[in-house]
Structure 1
Amino acid sequence: MLRRSRKSLLQLASICIVIYLIVSLVQPSAPKLYSWNTIRYRTTAASLPEARGLCPGLEDSSKPALIVSHVAADGETAWLKRLSSKYHLCIYDVDAPIDPTVKYLRVPANRGHESITYLTFLIDNYDSIPQAGAVFIHGNRFQWHNDDPLYDNAASLAALNVPSALSATGYHNLRCDWSAGTCPKDSAPAQGSLETTFNSILQPWSARSVSDAAMPKAFAVLFGGDEYLKNGKSKGLKLGRGDPVRAQCCAQFVVSKEAVHRHTREEYVALRQWLLDGYGMSRNSNAAPRDDRIAGRVLSYLWHILFIPQHHGRVDLDQLNEQACPSASDCYCRLYGKCKLSCNNRACYGQYRLPPNMRLPDNWADLHGNDIYEPGVEALNGRLYPKPFEP
């Protein structure tokens, strides 16, 4: 009798499990909501860096600002100056020698790659963001992350239609092709998954694996602040194991004044301090990882979360992922006026190809650096650059 009862209980339990699985598959899943609306990190630093990142003349400009994170290895900046008829140039020399007398276009430290430049601009020029918006880029003209047939950021910026790019959400990544980043669902495991954790342990040399593994805690600390640190309240702050953050590569984007002002200046100060607190002898263990490859990459996933508007005070992750990854055809048409391309969802024929090992040949700039990208003039390689949009 006892054996028969046990068998009946096992059968009943099996039936209940099957019913639960069926109901779970049939019912729509609840939205994945996260409280990623305000930066709440609190620094332990005794003082904050002085303001030395003002961009001269910005307060009187009617052009979009072009914020450039430039280091000496990026080479000359003449190609940027040829874009001055379209943009108000704010070129930051990130690795320039420290000179306390210089009060413009300087950052407090060479930290987090382009992130330190972007945040310094937002902090020191918060009240002078042009109504026309702002474009944030790296300092090299030719690089694999530039979404152009010749990887030429000069051509992309000359063609960029800033008002159209900002029309939907007030933010847009400058890349359209999906061959880098995490837009395809099969591109990488969720950042909080066990697979990501194991990969970061087995491949400590991989900046992607280690930064992905660091992201859940980093986001919880940044958006949860002292409350999260003291009480360990991770619900709605720390990424679930099956919740990926999808985003375009590579931290070059355009954003509106209104989107910037959705967050206070103090939030950008806190975010920069998270970056700075992770470096030095008395580093904060809850601050950014010391390795710039990791710290900078974590922040590269943050920009669209900050600037794409969310409703009801919480971030719907599925909706955010969809907004962060528009189809390649829509993106090329909206940003660069290329509206009759042959495309699938991820790429458009003839527009971009990821170079081997994500590296251009050493002589690429020498071969293509003299190409003309002025409005209406045919380039030496046979391309015709579109006329830049004039605000």
Structure 2
Amino acid sequence: MLRRSRKSLLQLAFFCVVIYIIVSLLRPPAPKLYLWNTIRYQTTAASLPEARGTCPGLDDSSKPALVVSYVAADGDTVWLERLSSKYNLCIYNVDAPADSSARNLRVPANRGHESITYLTFLIDNYDSIPQAGAVFVHGNRFQWHNDDTLYDNAASLAALNVASALEPTGYHNLRCDWSAGTCPKDSGPAQGSLETYINSILQPWSARSASDAAMPQAFAVLFGGDDYLKNRKSKGLKLSRSDPVRAQCCAQFVVSREAMHRHTREEYLAIRQWLLDSYGTSRNSNAAPRDDRIAGRILSYLWHVLFIPQEDGPVDLAKLNEQACPSAADCYCRLYGKCDLKCNVRGCYGQYRIPPYMRLPDDWAELHGNDIYEPAGVKALHGRLYPKAFEP
């Protein structure tokens, strides 16, 4: 009798384990929630930079602001000036010589690539952001990541329907194609994974590996502030090893005024000081990495976290990832009016393809810089760069 009872108990226990495993596999996973609602980083600097980043003309403008992070190497700004009928131009001269007499469109330091410009605009123009919102871009007209058949940001900005782009969430990346960034699930390991950490050691020259490995700590410091630094085990601040942040590259986007005002001016100041505190006498070990490639790339994956609205409470990372990666077909239709394309979720036929080695030929601007709205000879020149037709 005792043997039969033991056997029955073992069978029952085995049956219960099997049922538990089946239920666990069928049950939807619990949402991954993060406390990424408010920037809480606290600077150690004795003083903050003076306000020299005002963009003239915003108070009375009915046009969206076009915020441009420009350096001398980007060339002339004629292509931007030709967009002035559509946008209120805010062209920040990032590497201009220090000049105490310049009170407008200056940044405190050439730091974090385009991030220093974007943050300075948000800080110094916080109360003057146009009702129509703002578009944030780089100063170079032709770049490998511009989502245009000729990589021409002039054509993209001329075609951009700002109001339509802002309808779903108040934020939208200017890229539609998924072939760069981290939108596809197979685009790489989670930023906090062991694989990412090992890659950063084996490939110290790779800005992507280094910035991905540094991002979980950076986000935890930015959103956790002193609370995280005093208690490194604070839940909901640091990315787990299995949770990726999915987003489009490459830090060019459109944002509504409401979305920008979801965070206070002081929060944008804190992010900028996180960048600046890496240098000078007040250097803070918890501030941004000193390597600009790494610091700038970390912030390129912060913008959508700041601007895409979430329900009250912690951020649902899975939902945020989905919102940050709309289908290419929907994106091209809403942003650029291209609504009858042959597409899959990642890309659309004939619209974009990564150039070899993520680099445009040195003479690309010379060959394609004559026309701003409808570049001539697209089909003829398309084959020069692409020996094969793109199939989505």
Aligned partners of 1:241 and 1:48: how far apart in 2?
A: 36
* CA deviation vs aligned residue, 1:237-282 (integer Å, no higher than 9, x gap): 1101110000001000000000000000000000100011122354
Q: Which residue of the partner structure matches residue 141 of structure 1?
A: 141
Name the stretch that deviates more: 137-146 or 7-16.
7-16
Query: What amino acid maps onto 2:376 in structure 1?
Result: L
Query: What amino acid maps onto 1:271 in structure 2?
Result: I
Measured after TM superposition, the shift of residue 319 of structure 1 is 0.3
Measured after TM superposition, the shift of residue 11 of structure 1 is 9.6
Return closer, same or farther for 1:143/1:29 CA change in 2, 3 Å cut-off.
Answer: same
Return closer, same or farther for 1:382/1:30 CA change in 2, 3 Å cut-off.
Answer: closer
Query: What amino acid maps onto 2:56 in structure 1?
Result: P
Measured after TM superposition, the shift of residue 8 of structure 1 is 12
Q: Does the CA-based 8 Å contact 1:199-1:209 persist in structure 2? A: yes
Q: Which residue of the partner structure matches residue 377 of structure 2?
A: 381
Return closer, same or farther for 1:213/1:13 CA change in 2, 3 Å cut-off.
Answer: farther
Aligned partners of 1:8 and 1:44: how far apart in 2?
A: 67
Secondary structure of the 2:59 match is helix
Aligned partners of 1:243 and 1:358: how far apart in 2?
A: 27
Q: Which residue of the partner structure matches residue 184 of structure 2?
A: 184
Query: What amino acid maps onto 1:318 in structure 2?
Result: A
Instruction: Give the gaps of 5 or more residues in structure 2.
Output: 1-6, 380-392
Provide the alpha-carbon RMSD of the alignment. 1.9
Q: Which residue of the partner structure matches residue 93 of structure 1?
A: 93
Aligned partners of 1:10 and 1:49: how far apart in 2?
A: 71
Measured after TM superposition, the shift of residue 145 of structure 1 is 1.2
Return closer, same or farther for 1:10/1:105 CA change in 2, 3 Å cut-off.
Answer: farther
Q: Which residue of the partner structure matches residue 150 of structure 2?
A: 150
Instruction: Give the gaps of 5 or more residues in structure 1.
Output: 1-6, 384-391
TM-score (norm 1): 0.92
What pairs with 1:40-79 in structure 2 (closer than 5 Å)? Answer: 40-79=40-79
Aligned partners of 1:273 and 1:126: how far apart in 2?
A: 17
Question: Does residue 170 of structure 1 match 2:170?
Answer: yes
Q: Does the CA-based 8 Å contact 1:220-1:238 persist in structure 2? A: yes
Measured after TM superposition, the shift of residue 198 of structure 1 is 0.7
Measured after TM superposition, the shift of residue 230 of structure 1 is 1.0
What pairs with 1:1-391 in structure 2 (closer than 5 Å)? Answer: 20-280=20-280, 282-373=282-373, 379-381=375-377
Measured after TM superposition, the shift of residue 379 of structure 1 is 3.7
Return closer, same or farther for 1:18/1:150 CA change in 2, 3 Å cut-off.
Answer: same
Q: Does the CA-based 8 Å contact 1:135-1:253 persist in structure 2? A: yes
Aligned partners of 1:66 and 1:235: how far apart in 2?
A: 38
Aligned partners of 1:17 and 1:278: how far apart in 2?
A: 53
Secondary structure of the 1:60 match is coil
Aligned partners of 1:187 and 1:335: how far apart in 2?
A: 24
Q: Does the CA-based 8 Å contact 1:122-1:265 persist in structure 2? A: yes
Secondary structure of the 1:225 match is helix
Query: What amino acid maps onto 2:334 in structure 1?
Result: R
Return closer, same or farther for 1:337/1:121 CA change in 2, 3 Å cut-off.
Answer: same
Secondary structure of the 2:66 match is strand
* CA deviation vs aligned residue, 1:21-63 (integer Å, no higher than 9, x gap): 4332111111111110000000000000000000011111110
Secondary structure of the 2:69 match is strand
Secondary structure of the 1:354 match is coil
Secondary structure of the 2:275 match is helix
Q: Does the CA-based 8 Å contact 1:52-1:103 persist in structure 2? A: yes
Aligned partners of 2:203 and 2:15: how far apart in 1?
A: 42
Q: Does the CA-based 8 Å contact 2:53-2:104 persist in structure 1? A: yes
Aligned partners of 1:190 and 1:68: how far apart in 2?
A: 31
Query: What amino acid maps onto 1:380 in structure 2?
Result: A
Query: What amino acid maps onto 1:84 in structure 2?
Result: S
Aligned partners of 2:72 and 2:78: how far apart in 1?
A: 13
Secondary structure of the 1:140 match is coil
Measured after TM superposition, the shift of residue 18 of structure 1 is 5.3
Secondary structure of the 1:57 match is coil
Secondary structure of the 1:110 match is coil
Return closer, same or farther for 1:79/1:27 CA change in 2, 3 Å cut-off.
Answer: same
Q: Does the CA-based 8 Å contact 1:371-1:381 persist in structure 2? A: no
Aligned partners of 2:17 and 2:209: how far apart in 1?
A: 35
Aligned partners of 1:335 and 1:8: how far apart in 2?
A: 65
TM-score (norm 2): 0.92
Aligned partners of 2:76 and 2:131: how far apart in 1?
A: 29
Aligned partners of 2:18 and 2:281: how far apart in 1?
A: 56
Measured after TM superposition, the shift of residue 19 of structure 1 is 5.0
Instruction: Count matched residues.
Output: 374
Secondary structure of the 2:251 match is coil
Q: Does the CA-based 8 Å contact 2:142-2:365 persist in structure 1? A: yes
Aligned partners of 1:309 and 1:289: how far apart in 2?
A: 28
Q: Does the CA-based 8 Å contact 1:372-1:380 persist in structure 2? A: no
Return closer, same or farther for 1:372/1:222 CA change in 2, 3 Å cut-off.
Answer: closer
Query: What amino acid maps onto 2:299 in structure 1?
Result: L
Q: Identity over aligned residues, as a percent?
A: 83
Measured after TM superposition, the shift of residue 313 of structure 1 is 2.2
Q: Does the CA-based 8 Å contact 2:155-2:372 persist in structure 1? A: no
Measured after TM superposition, the shift of residue 167 of structure 1 is 0.5
Return closer, same or farther for 1:212/1:20 CA change in 2, 3 Å cut-off.
Answer: farther
Aligned partners of 1:200 and 1:8: how far apart in 2?
A: 53
